[in-house]
Structure 1
């Protein structure tokens, strides 16, 4: 991103035309980032709560007062209950190596605070994919231009990965077929050659059914499987349990559609899959990803130009991770820590269960929470329970934030944070292979400070004298780049300063991983259709399909009361709850909305534009109805996330979502969510 500044003020932003991947394009979310920097909701100085929690009434204080008060409260908490009574809560609001990766480790490691399992986004997908291919990264997104048959599976690229779209269009121009598999007819589906619409949570059955057809018709690459995989014959037997007629019944697809998809995927080589995290956010999400991750191995697509699968590129970045997070800072024996509770390391709290963690009995109870890079009252599931937790008067809440968010209103101490245009950081990616140096374009607004400066100050106030808490952002970045991996050859702080970005020095461009079957980070070093590791972890040796926990197949009584499966993926103009307060983007999103199938709407007397009540046993929200055939009967779709202050009932769709965890990885289950809908 390029920033245009006049007399110290940000005027506008633009894409960098010199970046080969983004090609000078910005997504709609950040195209007017100056609106975010100068938002009326922006926080400018530290404050202390003077009203009731949630009222948003504060008084201004100095940074010195804020740091001293936080440290005093934390010291008292540690003395009375141990360091595990303090919980950091964060995710990816600011994604840099410094602002995210370093800050998620250093201070909390030194303190011995409760560990946060940051699993809300990708954990289930990483677990399922990892059992098959190891957490090995995926193909270079630029290589999709060389594919002949592309499956865009469970991801709306036009809204969430817009920079990949030109490569798909380039492939289409050369004769490739793009297939979108999604329960909702997305913007991406509208640009595809073929749209396939399975029932939510059934993608795993579709993948196993495809593999069955490929095996049964002899379309698999047996030579590749023999050389570079484990358990493929056992997997073939498992797939035989998923003939087209069974898969059609499970998925709601036509048998000939399933057969044609499998045949074309196997024969129109090279074939590639762009797999999204979204479909993993179901109760059976890890299993679904695991099944889909098997398909490239079945046809021997790995290691070929234009072939394979991309879930994430993040595993390809060989940064010096210990230098970033500093795990050696964890308390030594004898210091106040988890040892008081019989544990060898601090307890872990799953971020999806933050409501439970705050409201249910814990040993020790959570008495203090420090929120940064996140807005849990808006983004965490089962938000009514989360809200109850933050309403506890005995909970000491510190929020370091750019805006007066839903969560910020509940803070005891509220600290102003810089935006990424106001601090130095290093950005790695999960959708491409470039490192980017983020340099400040303007001075921090008001008294706002970056995460690392605040945490270093808090560490010193706590009496921690470790040299790590003297390190600047530049020093952390230099340490992160200090890697002897060949991908990092020639990439230094100075080269990033000069060019702004650098692509990993892979052996080919575009990068083609797993050539000759090398590089799979599984125990065997091969693709594992049968995974002993999965079996040791308590899962099936082989991929399998199980229906979603909230479904007619599993809980028919629940499905009778709440017959509609609500999906709540990312909105086109918002990034979770980031940007949801900007007037221009809210105008584009129009209102908190829900898409209903015509049959479901007519049965409830609902017309286009009507406001409806959507509810289940966890909560209720009011949404504006959109009616048509973009979803099948029994499915609804509500793009997220709106702030509570913009909702008629003071909440958002996460009042409905469950804090149940996924089958693998402890991930979120936002899309396993049965609801009922009625006209207001």
Structure 2
């Protein structure tokens, strides 16, 4: 790699910040924000600087390793891929295809190579026992997208750059840089909002980093967000504030929502939520009366017992108040690679509850079962029991509920393989670890996060460093395994046409496929004088073929389609290389009803599965307010799940893995500053330093997620030296949102008491 400054996108979180990396003599000298990036405009967070640490980490695996009686031993790539494929095939032959399980971690969505190769690998595995981080994260949003708009990837995005009121519930974008809202420099955008006279209101069980900059803040009890939101819906109808605006012509069943909200008056929900009835009414009034307003919710509203209904109600409130598909409200992106349209063209708009998991009968979503039932499927005997397991870029022992039980299940498998470049709390159970190249050794394009961006843009980053001769990209690993598995399934040989297809796939690679998608998309090839002819041809095709036909879809997606006539043209990898800081494609634009994928072309405001689930919400309202301590998670801007704790610059300083507890609760539990507390539940216990603060609501305790590097046999010494404790060791996996199957990560009951070393020794 030549000396100088190289421009790139930071891949560590959803924000897509542009970075400028100074390289000299093959080493990174500095990492700074790229002032010319159209989306981030020079902003970066502390995580970006750690890219140097990740790239240079001597503990990062660089060759395949196999577990032996004498420890981990390196393997050659072909030997490793042959060995893994043969072991997986043997399990499939002897115990059936569903005896194999697979888990996809969050890093996959930051990697266009893995995204493009994973479908072929999953097809070759052939198992129905598929899992991912989705059901511990954004599943309620994807379900709401599917039910209301007809497509699981139709995410409504806050148009924060033009809004005048931003209501944030159960989210902390100041620490996360946005979540399902790609928003680099949230602080700067918030300042701009407030400078133009706008306001931000935060509602959360903790006065978090975002709340400290809010114009108003309200505590809410964990798990009661759906009650608050339903009371706001009640107020809109009661005070005749419902005004859907131009979306009204596509709405149906608004009356069913009105009837459903009748029992949930602000007065009825006030005690449970901890928010005064007058405050609830004022929130609803202010939201409805502000022309440009957004209601945004994330992890706190998603990963709770009523996460499905709460997320539906967030969407419903935005729609009823006229904030959908209008500038300053919630809008839909038009990315350069339109995964929404591409998926719809192939009939893959999403599906839910087509089948149920074997042990706990939990619903699938998009072909995946909830990750909270992985251990059940491994430990429970019977047809379809998982005996071989594949993890791809994930660490579910730390990120999945009841991590202790999951690691016991992993240790009991017949075979396990991990595609990962760290020996971590999960991969330590693998028989083989296949390490891909590091992020700076491969090209980068954000296929997924451009779907969530608060502004349309496109940016391609070539590999910064050349990989070594004996390194493999993750997509090469996945395709290599898929090809071998397909051969084994077919008796050792594939038809010539199929073999040629595999060869073409490998030669084209993710960048070749990406280039085709860019050129054929809305911002793609500019045909110059041939454009009128091509446009007429596109019109003819859309007239001749029905909307579900692939040719109709290709014509509508093409750059010559009349709907895209005002968009900039000429995007390709080549053109993006000429603009290393990225290309601005403009603000979000209204796009309904063309972007609706429901069968009748209307927005289904009252899906029956949500109405049926309201019985549970009535039960919550009729129950006494719990006096148990309720556990919530939290995140920090210098952390990202469990990925970044082997970087000294990100873990140094004050211990961040502490128990936050309100002074009243600390006194009740006999805790003082400097004490260690034992936090326990039905599934486990952890011990943490006490941090007594009024920034958490009374009755609530908080532990950050992603820590717990206490397991033996890992290969991350810095992380182990700053181990902390895993919140998931005390979160029960059997608690899920019954509607969606999403894990309940916020709002489980725990007990807290003073930890004494002598008591612990006696127990041992």
TM value normalised by structure 2: 0.77
Query: Within the alignment, does 1:166 sit opposite 2:237 as a pair?
Result: no
Query: Within the alignment, does 1:260 sit opposite 2:340 as a pair?
Result: no
- CA RMSD of the aligned region, Å? 3.3
Query: Within the alignment, does 1:421 sit opposite 2:421 as a pair?
Result: no
TM-superposed CA distance for 1:156, in Å, is 0.4
Tell me which of 594, 597, 600 is aligned to 2:665. Answer: 600
> What does 1:272-671 align with in structure 2 at a 5 Å threshold?
272-308=294-330, 317-318=338-339, 321=342, 349-392=369-412, 394-428=413-447, 429=449, 430-432=451-453, 433-444=456-467, 447-462=470-485, 463=487, 465=499, 467-468=501-502, 470-471=506-507, 472-481=509-518, 482-483=520-521, 484-485=557-558, 486=564, 489-500=569-580, 509-514=586-591, 519-531=595-607, 535=608, 538-540=609-611, 544=614, 546-547=616-617, 563-588=628-653, 590-645=655-710, 646=720, 652-659=726-733, 660-671=735-746
Cα separation, partners in 2 of 1:38 and 1:316, compared to 1, 3 Å: closer
- CA distance in 2 between partners of 1:325 and 1:237 (Å): 38
- CA distance in 2 between partners of 1:158 and 1:427 (Å): 21
Cα separation, partners in 2 of 1:650 and 1:304, compared to 1, 3 Å: closer
Tell me which of 39, 42, 45 is aligned to 2:57. Answer: 39
Q: For structure 1, list consecutive stretches of 5 or more residues without a partner in the other structure.
A: 328-345
Cα separation, partners in 2 of 1:226 and 1:440, compared to 1, 3 Å: closer
Q: Deviations over 1:575-612 (max 9, x none)?
A: 11110222222224614211111111111111223211
Q: For structure 2, list consecutive stretches of 5 or more residues without a partner in the other structure.
A: 1-18, 178-183, 349-365, 488-493, 522-556, 559-563, 711-719, 756-764
- CA distance in 1 between partners of 2:461 and 2:631 (Å): 38
TM-superposed CA distance for 1:362, in Å, is 4.5
- CA distance in 1 between partners of 2:56 and 2:479 (Å): 27
TM-superposed CA distance for 1:247, in Å, is 2.0
Give the SS at the match of 1:626: strand
- CA distance in 2 between partners of 1:324 and 1:28 (Å): 40
Tell me which of 16, 22, 30 is aligned to 2:34. Answer: 16
Query: Does the aligned pair in 1 maintain the 2:103–2:130 contact within 8 Å?
Result: yes
Q: Deviations over 1:42-86 (max 9, x none)?
A: 11222111359xxxx412222232122212212322221233322
Cα separation, partners in 2 of 1:111 and 1:390, compared to 1, 3 Å: closer
Match of 1:152 in 2: 168
Query: Does the aligned pair in 1 maintain the 2:39–2:584 contact within 8 Å?
Result: no
- CA distance in 2 between partners of 1:231 and 1:647 (Å): 56
Tell me which of 738, 751, 764 is aligned to 1:676. Answer: 751
Query: Does the aligned pair in 2 maintain the 1:399–1:411 contact within 8 Å?
Result: yes
- CA distance in 1 between partners of 2:116 and 2:452 (Å): 21
Q: Which moved more, 1:123-132 or 1:200-209?
A: 123-132
> What does 1:121-140 align with in structure 2 at a 5 Å threshold?
121-135=137-151, 137-138=154-155
Give the SS at the match of 1:677: strand
Q: Deviations over 1:163-220 (max 9, x none)?
A: 3332222110010011111111111000010012111111111112112222222222
- CA distance in 1 between partners of 2:254 and 2:160 (Å): 26
TM-superposed CA distance for 1:638, in Å, is 1.1
Match of 2:223 in 1: 201
Give the SS at the match of 1:438: coil
- CA distance in 2 between partners of 1:170 and 1:566 (Å): 34
Q: Deviations over 1:411-437 (max 9, x none)?
A: 211222222211124213153133332
Give the SS at the match of 1:100: helix
TM-superposed CA distance for 1:223, in Å, is 6.3
Q: Deviations over 1:263-308 (max 9, x none)?
A: 1111122112233244211121010011121112222122332123
Cα separation, partners in 2 of 1:381 and 1:149, compared to 1, 3 Å: same
- CA distance in 2 between partners of 1:389 and 1:368 (Å): 11
TM-superposed CA distance for 1:548, in Å, is 11
Query: Does the aligned pair in 1 maintain the 2:708–2:725 contact within 8 Å?
Result: yes
Tell me which of 25, 41, 49 is aligned to 2:67. Answer: 49
TM value normalised by structure 1: 0.86
TM-superposed CA distance for 1:654, in Å, is 0.6
Q: Deviations over 1:453-487 (max 9, x none)?
A: 11222234332636245242322323443443547
Q: Which moved more, 1:349-358 or 1:288-297?
A: 349-358
Give the SS at the match of 1:421: helix
- CA distance in 1 between partners of 2:645 and 2:420 (Å): 15
Query: Does the aligned pair in 1 maintain the 2:38–2:582 contact within 8 Å?
Result: no
Tell me which of 60, 63, 81 is aligned to 1:67. Answer: 81
Give the SS at the match of 2:83: helix
Q: Which moved more, 1:57-66 or 1:630-639?
A: 57-66
Query: Does the aligned pair in 2 maintain the 1:149–1:265 contact within 8 Å?
Result: yes
TM-superposed CA distance for 1:384, in Å, is 1.1
Give the SS at the match of 1:274: strand
Match of 1:335 in 2: none
- CA distance in 2 between partners of 1:326 and 1:544 (Å): 31
Q: Would you say how many aligned residue pairs link Structure 1 and Structure 2?
A: 642
TM-superposed CA distance for 1:500, in Å, is 3.9
TM-superposed CA distance for 1:241, in Å, is 1.7
